Structure formats: structure tokens, C-alpha cells
Chains A and B, each alone.
Chain A
């Protein structure tokens, strides 16, 4: 979706402001939100792409004015309500009223923690041969899916070169809407700065994205 989360190339957000000796969390609730998202995801309430999609669907003014973990909280609430795991009234009241909906992997328990600290695997068997190989020139499609996509706006319609082949992986555009993993080939595609930003671009800059095959056509 063409949301405000898709920030590459936007102007006006000001300087980057690193914080010296930044703590891991700025408040205890941030840690609780992180833990709830990880736990409910691991219990099977949603996949990582769906959780990203729900944060993207926050109204633009909310997205831009909320801290990172506040966005995680709001996205988690919306997601759990939409999928029927909690009712809006329960969240508002702070107590369970309705019966629980069974979770795919069951309740998240202490002995599940070790499992989630190992990163997930996204590689899948290839349903078809790869269309592209390193060195190929490709153009990113001029597409504007209304749902989740990992093709940023700033590269759409531009020509780049395939640099790496990462094999076949879960396709976020499908997974986010719970339409299946629909594995697709994934490539690193590199663009010259001028291709993306025009003749005034810094000539020393190159930018790459990781692009799924459905985002690309031969150029």
C-alpha cells in the first residue's frame, strides 16, 4: 500500500538524531509490547508480514506521531481484534469476557522462549526456475498494490542490475493477507543514484533493494 511507512526519498523529516548511550527500552511498557508481539506471533496468531501490514494500516497521522513501540501496540491491538483473538470491548475494559479462540501453536509458554530467539527461516522450495540471474538488467514494475508490498515506491519503474540471488522465499505480499506463502525468487537489485534521483544525484551513490521476482521484468 502507498502509505506513509514507505519513506525512502521523502524530504522534511529533519536531521538524524542519535542518542548517546541509548537504553534498550525507554520504558518498561515498550519491552512488554515487544514480548507480546513476539509471543502472539510465535503462538500462531499472525505471521511477521501481517504484523507489518497492520502497522502500515495505522492512519498516517497516527503512524507519524507515534513512537515505535506505540505503533507496535496499536497494530497488535487492531490485528488481534480483526482476527477475533480479542474483542475491542475486552481491550477497553482490560479484562477477558469472551471465550478464547484457539491458537495454531497453543498458548505461549516459558519453554517456547528459546525457540523464538532463533531467527525464522524464510527459504522455500522453488516452484519454478528463476527468471533472472546476476548481471541481468531488470525494471521494477510500476505497480501499486493496495495491500502489503515490499517494493518501495522510490524504485518503481526504474532499471537496475541483479547482483545476488537469494533463492526462493516466502512472498510477503501474499503472506501479509494470509493468502499463503506463495514462494518467489528473491534478488538483490542495484540502482545508480541518478536512475532513482535524477541528474542531481550524488554520482558516487548506489542503492539496492531485495526484490521478489513478481516485482521485476526484463529490461
Chain B
């Protein structure tokens, strides 16, 4: 939205792009043919904007950090474990949680399209769906991590999960040090979206 390489001095927002016109045209046709109710489209968008997002995943991670029994059930069967949490019940049948340890770091990609645990993390960021990440994550994960400013010890195993089916992967990052006695709510504040994809770490206390 930033690069202005044309010579419009006064950017006119009523001037619609070719894509915007095409989208409006298609929606008009679908509405006129009686396939969709535009109010239902509004409601879909509102649901994505308000109901899903990384806060869901962060709650799951924070609970796993606080409750060893929940953590075990999450690693055994994430779908079942998450379905016991009333507030995040939209996860479907195919969620797998994978645990980061000092020996092993997990990272998730979809090389073929953009598969991502929407119910846990919201809609994926642009970089996750774009060619640089999709092409390199499976071949040069350390190089990709460097693009995020993340480096791991040389001997840490890196496990890349290519989401080629309907299974969705949630990385369970390591609990930051210095958080003994923290509540789940406090812990959830430290859990970043990228730490649950495997391209980042949780925030550290006081940072």
C-alpha cells in the first residue's frame, strides 16, 4: 500500500483497482444469483476478525506450561486436549502439537499452499504464504530462522513439518526461564505467534 510510483498528487480512494472491481463484480453476481447472502459474508469476516487469532494458541501453550497433565494430553492427542477447553473448541479433528526441547526445535511450513492452524493462530501472515518461506524452510531452515533474527545452537536438531495434508501443527515452545509461579494468563502474554510456528521464541520476562 505504500509505494507510489505513479504521479497522482492527490490519492483518490474512490478510484478502484482492477482487483477491487473484479471482486465487487463477482460478489454482485453471486448475490444476484442467490448463492450467497452478503450479510453472511460480512459475518464470516467479522468472525475471522474477532474469534480466531494467536490468543487461542497462546492459551493452550500457557496451560501446557502450567499443567503437566494437560501438556501430556496435548502431546498425546492435541485435538482431544484442546476440545476440553471450552473457549477454543473449533479446532477440528486433526491438530498435532509438537514440543520444542533443548535438543530439538520444530518448525512448520506448507510448501504446497498455505495450510496453517487457523483455529489456533488465526489467518496466516503473508510471509508464511509467500515463496521465500515455502521454498526455503525445508532445505535451509537455519537460513530462514536467520531471516527472523533467530539462531539455534549448532547441534540442536531442527525438525521441519511440511503440512501436506489436513493435519495442522502447533509448536509448543519452551517455557521461558524466570517465570516460576506465573499464572496462565501471565504466561500467555509471553507466547508469540511465531513461537508457535517455530520461527521465533516466546518473549522473556521483562523484555
Binding site for B on A (CB under 8 A): 5-11, 13-19, 22, 24, 26-27, 29, 31-36, 38-40, 43, 45, 52, 55, 64, 68, 70, 73, 76-77, 80, 85-86, 90-96, 100, 103, 107-110, 112-113, 116-123, 150-152, 154, 164, 166, 169-170, 172, 186, 188, 190, 196-197, 201-202, 204-212
Contacts and interface: CB of A to CB of B under 8 A. Distances in A.
B148 A209 contact: no
A94 B23 contact: no
Nearest to A9: B139
Interface string B82-117: 000000011111101000000000000101111000
Given A68-B114, A100-B35, A113 B44 contact: yes
Interface in B4-45: 19-30, 32-37, 39-45
B201 to A, nearest CB: 14
Contact of A38 (B23, B32, B44, B89): B44
Interface centre among B26, B32, B42, B161 (most CB of A within 10 A): B26
B144 A16 contact: yes
B67 interface: no
B158 A90 contact: no
B37 A206 contact: no
Contact of B141 (A7, A120, A186, A205): A205
14 contacts: A18-B194, A19-B125, A29-B19, A68-B130, A91-B22, A94-B25, A96-B29, A119-B91, A119-B92, A166-B167, A206-B159, A207-B159, A207-B162, A210-B162
A73 B23 contact: yes
A158 to B, nearest CB: 12
A64 B161 CA distance: 23
A11 B27 contact: no
Contacts of B32: 95-96
A39 B48 CA distance: 13
Contacts of B194: 18
Interface string B156-181: 11111111111100000000000000
**Pairs of residues from A and B, 6 with the lowest C-beta to C-beta distance, nearest first:** A119-B92, A94-B25, A8-B111, A96-B32, A210-B165, A35-B41
B30 A86 contact: yes
Interface of B: 1, 19-30, 32-37, 39-45, 47-49, 51-52, 89-94, 96, 109, 111-114, 118-119, 122-123, 125-127, 129-142, 144, 147-148, 154-167, 194, 199
Contacts of B133: 16
B125 A108 contact: no
Contacts of B111: 6-8, 152, 154
B28 A94 contact: yes
A204 B23 contact: no
A107 B167 contact: no
A172 B165 contact: yes
Contact of B148 (A16, A22, A170, A201): A16
A15 B165 contact: no
A31 B165 CA distance: 25
Given A112-B40, A196-B139, 14 more contacts: A7-B111, A8-B138, A13-B131, A13-B136, A36-B26, A43-B36, A86-B26, A95-B29, A110-B43, A118-B92, A119-B91, A166-B167, A169-B165, A204-B154
